[in-house]
Chains A and B, each alone.
Chain A
Amino acid sequence: MVLFSRLFILLVVLTVIYGAVSLYSREVRRAKLKRRWRDKGLTGDRDAFIQRGLKQYDRSFRRRLILLVYVLPLGAIALLVYTMNFM
């Protein structure tokens, strides 16, 4: 049915966007860690510092915010369906 095929396509597109935004965000975090290491003139194992920082990022709230890529469009559609048809 049209509904399911449209929904499927929408979910695929949102997944692609989510993946792209996640990778980009992780790379931005990595660049920020490198810059911090350089600017602060830190010593020691740079790779370990970056890995630790990335592991911290993986657990952070900012990473969970990217899930809004799913929530916002689907939520908007659900809200529209409710206001247009049941209000």
Chain B
Amino acid sequence: MVYVKWVFWITFWVLFGSALHYTLPQHDVVRVVATDVRRVDFGDNSMFWAQQDTGQESATTTNRDVRFVEAFRPNGRPIVYRNEDTGWGWPPYFKLDSSNLQAELTDLVSTSDAPQWVLLRHYGWRNQFFTIFPNAVAVKPVDGPDHSVTNWFNIAFLTMLAALVWAIWVRLRRFRQARIDPMLEEVEDSLYAAGDAISERRGRVRRWLDSWKSK
């Protein structure tokens, strides 16, 4: 039975951790090669797409045009991002300027002979099996492919999240010790008392029966 608890908690934390990994921003140093717009039909992977441009969200359709960005990583492998508004929805990036971002990205297009390396902030995963693209959020030109950057926002956010979880857990534990455990002890005590009373009753009846036997 202990395994059930372990499995439950491990599943919970894996889901929570992967949701965080998907939603929190990451940085990639890439070389942008093309930007385009494609018509996308939303099927099973609709969860991994964002929304229409802000102001047009009420136009829900089964397909729409999505801006894409094709890029190459320093190790020579390609990666494709999408560039969609998240608007006022989830994740709370309040990304309203995807069209401007697309213009900036097109401006930074370069070839492998004369590469222009950029730092691309994005969230999401790239998965070929399910056709999932990360969502580009901001772009900044950098000097070379080995530009390194520390993700201060993630560090601060995860620290505060850990502090919040710890604070809630400590308060829950204190509440349990102060209120629930004494109540449980009382319930146990009364159960024991009931057990004793029952065995005492049996003892009396038995002694009465034995008083007959000695005859």
Residues of A within 8 A of B (CB): 1-3, 6, 77, 80-81, 84-86
Which chain B residue lies CB-closest to A78? Answer: B94
Is A80 a contact of B93 with CB atoms below 8 Å? yes
Residues of B within 8 A of A (CB): 54-55, 57-58, 87-89, 92-97, 100, 137-138
* Bound Cα distance A60, B94 (Å): 36
* Bound Cα distance A22, B100 (Å): 43
Which chain A residue lies CB-closest to B101? Answer: A85
Which chain B residues border A1 with CB–CB below 8 Å?
Answer: 55, 57-58
Is A80 a contact of B96 with CB atoms below 8 Å? no
Is A2 a contact of B57 with CB atoms below 8 Å? yes
The smallest beta-carbon distance between B36 and chain A, in angstroms, is 23
Is A2 a contact of B58 with CB atoms below 8 Å? yes
8 examples of A-B residue contacts, CB within 8 angstroms:
A2-B54, A2-B87, A2-B89, A80-B92, A80-B94, A81-B94, A84-B94, A84-B97
Is B88 a contact of A3 with CB atoms below 8 Å? yes
* Bound Cα distance A85, B88 (Å): 13
* Bound Cα distance A71, B138 (Å): 27
* Bound Cα distance A77, B96 (Å): 13
The smallest beta-carbon distance between A4 and chain B, in angstroms, is 10
* Bound Cα distance A80, B95 (Å): 9
The smallest beta-carbon distance between A59 and chain B, in angstroms, is 32
The smallest beta-carbon distance between B119 and chain A, in angstroms, is 14
Is A84 a contact of B95 with CB atoms below 8 Å? yes
